[in-house]
Amino acid sequence: MFVEIGAKIKKAREEKFLSQAGLGAKLGLTATAINYYEKGKRKIGIDDLLRLSEALAKPVLYFLPGVDEPKKDTPSKNTLNKHVEIFNDLTGIAVLGTVRAGQPVFSEQNIIGMLPMPQQKAVKEYFALQVKGDSMAGAGIDEGDLVLIHRQSHVDFDGQIVCALVNGEETTLKVFHKASDGNIRLVAANPSYPDLLLESSSNLVIQGVYAGVYKFPPSRPGQKL
């Protein structure tokens, strides 16, 4: 949601031939704040959307998901309130790209966007990870999916899907198995990939456990991703 809003902000800004700094000056914001809005890294409130609408000469509904082009007619108050109610009931959780060794997992450079979630959920207990590759395809987790991860440092049961840092390398998503002798085996849900065998848990850092998957709808012809 926030990524789509950000893309529309950027498009409208460029149509006005404004730099990020120029738009920020109109709104009393820094260029960095505008950059974060455009990349979907920061949740934008309805008040700032209304100010953007005025500064960029676009109807406020133009910036909300599901509205492709600004409409000439003014939306009804009930329609706008409905969109605002839905918008205000959402917050965002961090979407992480590849997490490399030597970086804190939740450092800013690892965050590639935000995933909207209802405010009722304890969002601080979750993060999302963008899937790279097809090693978990057998579990219904495909490349490009966003996997919802519950932050915790332990495994609840044998056979659980975990997000883990292995041997100080990049984060991986695998099925956790622990043998009676203490050896750990991380198994892909795709037979094309070999198991990862660990003789000691000291080489493994559990960053969270699988809590769900978000799949993007198929792109429409001519749609830019």
Catalytic residue among 11, 58, 174, 200: 174
Instruction: Look at the chain and count its residues.
Output: 225
User: Is 82 noted as a catalytic residue in this protein?
Assistant: no
Catalytic residue among 71, 135, 153, 219: 135
User: Is 174 noted as a catalytic residue in this protein?
Assistant: yes
**Tokens representing residue 211 in the block:** 């809590």
- Note the maximum CA span of the chain: 70
Taking the CA atoms of 60, 65, 70 and 75 in sequence, report the sign of the dihedral they define. Answer: negative
The C-alpha angle with vertex 92 and arms to 87 and 95, in degrees rounded to 5, equals 140
Q: Running DSSP on this structure, what letter comes out for residue 54?
A: H
Taking the C-alpha atoms of residue 9 and residue 136, their distance in angstroms, rounded to an integer, is 35
Residues recognised as catalytic = 135, 174
